[in-house]
Structure 1
């Protein structure tokens, strides 16, 4: 089974609400080194944490980071954004969102795959319950695309010894969800569930009851998942 003990972990979006917990909890579980990657990395005052410049929308930045962190055994694709964009109307903002949430995550995994194949390591893609629920508009679309790409990565990289997992969660109490009026998860609990899932060898990690309910609802008629449709017909 994959383990965090002795691992070398790279975390994108390490300065964010979930990212900070990914960094600290990796060390709590015995990680030997953590690359805390961000566009503007900060000083963590811990010799085990290596600040790393990484802009997931920049191929040059990703390539440079992969050269520096060529000893990674675990990659956490945590970097993400939300800009309120839509799949209807002007698509420029939606395209921008895909650059971070979809193409960026794919490019990071691709760049670090040689190191992961050597170490028979692990990739965790941070998805969302909105991977399965379209109420998040363009954000949902980016996470749905990454969910399907995660499935493909999983079957393509498994023969190389690389374990690919996906994390689904509802709203977590982070700066990204500051304006959301809904119950929110403690980010520490989300990260704990993520690492528990990795160490259990899980392919799909559901961090909360809502994610489990929505996934189960995918087999139901579409009107059950989207009651808005029934109201529109009335």
Structure 2
């Protein structure tokens, strides 16, 4: 995937990692970036940036984005939520909300733009996942379950989109220094560093990014005994 002269659509582009994607894509030579957000007025204006009203849980928003932007060659599914909490103690509505955004929202945007990518030569699709795709930590059962489902979705899309020449990249990362992780006091990744790894991986034709030591350690432990990931089971 060539970033130079590409046309990208970034979901959840109004802050945090999405905003970093928008800036860095332009710095690396993207011709245009469509910056999707529920409220496009929250997207910082700039040359090469086109704010797009896009709630990925709203089918009308998705259909309108496809109709208005048929030149997309790079889709970055960055939008996500973490509002569910415990699978047993939290309201089901919040758990359902995590899946509606993280799984079904990502699925619906991907389905809608797959023909666009095909018509423009294949291009690439990026799904921003999490280390919590691999493991559950603390009271994050709902988010982890939705991100694990999104990881499986990413693997399935990679196979289904292969025939049309679309590169699919899954991005697994620990805490990022954004509003979503503002309550975390431990080490965090800089959004710009994560974006740099993603764009490098696209250029190299890779399928997956493990963005930090924590994520690489957890991924490597998946083949071991469950007690290695969950000491309480020992």
TM-score (norm. length: structure 1): 0.95
Tell me how large the CA RMSD over aligned residues is.
Answer: 1.1
Superimposed CA distance per residue, residues 176-217 of structure 1 (whole angstroms, 9 cap, x where no aligned partner): 001123211111101111111111111011111111110000
Of 215, 218, 221 in structure 1, the residue corresponding to residue 225 of structure 2 is 221
- Trace 1:1-234 onto structure 2 (pairs within 5 A): 2-42=1-41, 44-89=44-89, 90-119=91-120, 120-135=122-137, 136-230=140-234
Corresponding residue SS for 1:134: coil
User: CA separation in 2, counterparts of 1:52 and 1:150?
Assistant: 24
SS state of the match for residue 161, structure 2?
helix
Which secondary structure state, in structure 2, belongs to the residue aligned with residue 133 of structure 1?
coil
Q: CA separation in 1, counterparts of 2:231 and 2:129? A: 23
- 4+ runs deviating over 3 angstroms: 42-45
Question: Partners of 1:167 and 1:56 in 2: how far apart?
Answer: 19
> 2:84–2:96: 8 Å Cα contact kept in structure 1?
no
**Gapped regions of structure 1 (runs ≥ 5):** none
Structure 1: distance between partners of 2:192 and 2:76: 15
- Separation in 1, partners of 2:44, 2:183: 28
Tell me the SS of whatever aligns to 2:223. Answer: coil
Distance 1:20 1:93 in 2: 26
The more displaced of 160-169 and 85-94 is 85-94
**1:96: how far off?**
1.1
Provide the C-alpha distance between the structure 2 equivalents of 1:34 and 1:114, rounded to a whole number of angstroms. 19
Q: Return the offset for 1:17.
A: 0.4
Structure 2: where are the runs of 5+ without partners? none
Shift of 1:47: 3.1
TM-score after normalising by structure 2: 0.95
- Give aligned pairs, total: 229
**In structure 2, how many angstroms separate the alpha carbons of the residues matched to 1:96 and 1:205?**
26
Shift of 1:44: 3.3
